[in-house]
Amino acid sequence: MLLMIFILSGLLVLFKYIEFQNPVFLFLYFILFLVSLFTKESAVLVPLITLLLLQFSHKINWKKFLSLAVIWSVALIIWYLMRAHAIEGRKGSAVGELINAGVARGPAIIQYLGKIIFPVNLSVYPIMRDTTMIWGLIAIVFITGMIILSKSYRKPLTWNRVDMVPAFHFPGADRALHHK
């Protein structure tokens, strides 16, 4: 939950930066992204998610994208160096451990997607070997079919249609999302 608080706060601050062009908001986004990295390592996916979100919500010019890329790079380098220093006594490289963990746990994304769409065989303590991939694959086919049937992939994403995260409905968030 703490990670989600930092990610959503960072997104709201980023939308404020896009709306008002104030560099203070960009610096605050940098701090929130860095804190989210220190909260949980899975925050390394935040730049990808943010990039997809910005691509679908509104067009972003290259100057803003370049500043975001610099912020992400600097934060990731700081995080990596501090993480490498913290696990210095361990054998193996930090990058190798991250890649191995990502490959080993990658199928869990499909498994959890299946549990989100089709909540069957739920467990308090889910283990990858006890969870089947079938429901995840069916969920991927289901979601893909729904997207194709709705033809929404041809239209730009708007928050009026998504309406899945009430936290984005703070005052001013809609203006930031629809700002051109």
- The 10s digit of each residue's pLDDT in 13-24 is 998 988 888 999
pLDDT over 60 at 147, yes or no? yes
Give the mean pLDDT of 132-145.
91
Using the predicted structure, report yes or no on whether residue 36 has a pLDDT greater than 90.
Answer: yes
What's this model's pTM, rounded to 2 decimal places? 0.56
Confidence bin at 155 (pLDDT 50/70/90): low
Cα 92 from Cα 59, distance rounded (Å): 42
Rounded CA separation 102/122 (Å): 23
Structure tokens at 142: 């289901």
